[in-house]
Structure 1
C-alpha cells in the first residue's frame, strides 16, 4: 500500500533528521568545529550565547544538542582555532550563482583541477579549501567578489579566524527549501580540502581590492596579476570618463573584462564587446570608434597570449605529475598514475583510448572525478593535437604481466591439451560431461569432468581458475534432457573454442 503524502513527507524528514546528527558528528570527528542553527535557517540556535564560544568538536555535546533539536541545521566554523590542528583549518568560496561558479572555475582558477570538497545549496556552489594566512584573517574576514559592474556580490570569501565566519553544511535544509548536498565524489569523506595555489590567491586579493600578498623581495606568483583596484574604482569608471583619462580607462576596463570571460566563446565576447561600446558612449566625449576597436582587440590578443602561456605551464606541470606504464599483456593494459590518487588506475586498451572511460574508471577505482575539460586535456584539441594520453604513451615505461596475469594462459593450455583438444565428435553431448564437439563447432562438457580427470599433474588448475578462463572465452550454460533427468553443461561456441585455443598456444610458451 503506498504511503500517504503526509506520511511520505514525515518519512523523508525522519531520514534527514537522522542524517543531520550523523553528519554533524562526522564533521566533528574530522576536527571541524560544529554548532547547531535553527531548523531551515542560518541563525545560531542558542542566541543568548555567541556561537564562537560553543562551536565544538565534542561528540557528546553535539549529540546532546541534536537530541534536543533533531532538525537543527549543521554549521561549521571557518578559519583557524587553537583547539584544532592547522591541517583542519578551512575556508569557503561561496559562489551564489552559475555566473559565480564560472568566475571561480575559469577566472580565479583558470582550468586548475579543483579536486576539493564542493557542495550545493539553493543555487551556485560552495568550494572548501585549506585556510591560508595570505588572505585577510581578521575577526570579520568575510569578503565579497563583485560582478563586473560592481553592483552585485557574486562570491563570499569566508576566511574568518574562527570568530567571524561560519558555513551551513550538508545535509542541512536551506531557508528556501532545498537540501545542501555534496557533489558526487567531492565530499569531505572523498578527500581533504586542497590548498589554494599562490597565483589564485593573488587573483582573489585583486578582486577584493587588496594589494599583492608578496613583498618587494619576491614577485607575484604569476605575471598576469594586475594591480588591485577597489570596487569603487570600477563603479566610478563605468559611469564614464572625461577627456584626459579615457584611453587608460579603456585599456583597464578591456583588460579586466577579458580576464573574466571565456574568450573562446563568441557569444560571451560579443556581449562584452557591446557593453564596451555602450560604456564608451558614456565618456565625455566618447573615444573614436577606431580607437575603441583597437583597444578591444589589443586586450583580446594580450589575454589570448597570456592564457596560452599559462596553459603551457599548466600542461607541463600536469605532465610531470602524471605517468603511465604499459603492461605487455594480451591484450595490452595500462597503469595510470595521477596527482589525485594513490597507486594507479588500471585501464584496458579500449579504456585508455577513451577519455570518458578513463574518467569512469578513476571514479570507480579511486573515487576521483575530474573537472570540466578533461576530454580535451586527455585526447588533445585543435591547438594541442598531442594530448596527455599521447605524451604519456611516448614516455611510458613497459612492464611484463604478473604471474597471475600469465596464469590464465597456462590454465588454458592445460585444459586444452588434456581434454578439449581431444574432444569426441558427436551429434549430442555426453551425459557424463565428457568433452564433445558438435556439428556446429561448439564444445559441450562439464567442469567437474575436467577436474576429476586431471591426472596427476602437480600444477593442475583449480575450479575457480578454470571458470575464469572459460568466462574469458565466452562460456555459457545449457541443459539437455537424458531420459527423465536434465543435465547442465558448459558450452563454448565455435568462436569461443578458437579463443581458448589461441590462449592455450600462448600458455604453451609460458609453461
Structure 2
C-alpha cells in the first residue's frame, strides 16, 4: 500500500521507489493510512512480489494474443480505459510496447507503481476490480508467473515502435515513451524544458504526463507548484524536439 495524492496517480511521498525493494514497517503504514483522501497505489517488484501488465489500447486484437501467450490472471483492475492484470514477480524489467502509433502494453515492475481500487481517477471515475479476487485477498505467491519464454514471444510480437525524430511529434505515446528514458531528477532547467516541450506539443493534455513523470523523482515539488510553473509557460520556443534530444542522450533509440 502506497499513499497517492488525492484524485491523482502520483505518490504523496518522496523516495517511494525504495519500497519496490524493501517493505514498509508498521509505523510507516499507520502514517500513510492517515493521509487524507489519499488514492492507493501498490509498489511493484520484489518487495510486494507483484508485477503488472497494463493493457492500454487493443490494436488489431493484440491483447488477446498476449493473454494467449502469458496466460490470464485471476486479479485484474480497470481505470478509465484498458485494464491491468497482476502476476507474480519473477525478475521482470519494466518495458513499454507500442504497435505503430498505438500504445498497447506496459510491463510494470521494479521502480514502478500502479493505482488500485477504490482510488479515484483524475477524471473522476473510480478504479474498480474486474475479478472476484483482488490484491487484498490474493497472496503474491498465488498469482501466476510470467514465463520468460512467453515474455520473449510477447517481445517478438510487440517490438517497440520506431519513433521519428522530428521538430513536432503529433502522438502523445511517443513523447511518453521518450520520457521513460529521462530521469525525473534532472536539473531544474531540463525539467522545465521538458514541461515546455509537452505544453507546446500537447497543450493542457501534456500536464498530467509531466506531473506523472515528475512525481517519480526526489525533486518533485508537488502538483500545486508544478501547476504554477506549467501556467507560467508562454511559448518560449521550446518544442518537442527538445524532449527527444534529452531522451536520446539517455538512451532513447530513434530512426531517421
TM-score normalized by the length of structure 2: 0.54
How far, CA to CA, are the matches of 2:53 and 2:75 in structure 1?
Answer: 11
How far, CA to CA, are the matches of 1:167 and 1:74 in structure 2?
Answer: 8
| Contact 1:145/1:153 (<8 A) preserved | yes
SS in 2 for 1:61: helix
| Contact 1:100/1:155 (<8 A) preserved | no
Distance 1:100 1:122, change over 3 A: farther
| Contact 2:3/2:32 (<8 A) preserved | yes
Per-residue deviation, 1:165: 1.0
1:231 is matched with 161
Structure ID, larger Rg: 1
List aligned pairs for 1:60-459, cutoff 5 A. 60-67=27-34, 69-80=35-46, 84=47, 88-97=48-57, 99=58, 102-104=61-63, 106-110=64-68, 114-133=72-91, 135=92, 137=93, 141=94, 143-147=95-99, 150-160=100-110, 164-188=111-135, 189-190=137-138, 192-207=142-157, 209=159, 230-232=160-162
SS in 1 for 2:162: helix
How far, CA to CA, are the matches of 2:147 and 2:89 in structure 1?
Answer: 12
How far, CA to CA, are the matches of 2:67 and 2:138 in structure 1?
Answer: 21
Deviations 1:418-477 (A, max 9, x none): xxxxxxxxxxxxxxxxxxxxxxxxxxxxxxxxxxxxxxxxxxxxxxxxxxxxxxxxxxxx
Q: How many residues align?
A: 159
Gaps of 5+ in 2: 165-256
| Contact 2:53/2:107 (<8 A) preserved | yes
Deviations 1:303-344 (A, max 9, x none): xxxxxxxxxxxxxxxxxxxxxxxxxxxxxxxxxxxxxxxxxx
How far, CA to CA, are the matches of 1:100 and 1:71 in structure 2?
Answer: 36
How far, CA to CA, are the matches of 2:60 and 2:124 in structure 1?
Answer: 21
How far, CA to CA, are the matches of 1:198 and 1:42 in structure 2?
Answer: 29
Per-residue deviation, 1:100: 6.0
Per-residue deviation, 1:96: 2.1
2:203 is matched with none
TM-score normalized by the length of structure 1: 0.28
Distance 1:129 1:93, change over 3 A: same
| Contact 1:100/1:124 (<8 A) preserved | no
| Contact 2:73/2:87 (<8 A) preserved | no
Per-residue deviation, 1:158: 0.9
Deviations 1:374-414 (A, max 9, x none): xxxxxxxxxxxxxxxxxxxxxxxxxxxxxxxxxxxxxxxxx
Per-residue deviation, 1:204: 2.3
Q: Which of the pair has the greater relative contact order for Cα pairs under 8 Å at 6+ separation?
A: 2
How far, CA to CA, are the matches of 2:128 and 2:65 in structure 1?
Answer: 25
Per-residue deviation, 1:194: 0.7
Distance 1:197 1:146, change over 3 A: same
Per-residue deviation, 1:199: 4.0
Per-residue deviation, 1:44: 1.7
How far, CA to CA, are the matches of 2:70 and 2:18 in structure 1?
Answer: 37
| Contact 1:73/1:173 (<8 A) preserved | yes
1:369 is matched with none
Deviations 1:146-195 (A, max 9, x none): 12xx11212111122xxx21111111111111111111323121563211
Question: Over the residues paired in the alignment, what is the CA RMSD in angstroms?
Answer: 2.8
Gaps of 5+ in 1: 1-33, 210-229, 236-511
| Contact 2:73/2:86 (<8 A) preserved | no
Structure with greater proportional helix content: 1
Distance 1:100 1:132, change over 3 A: farther
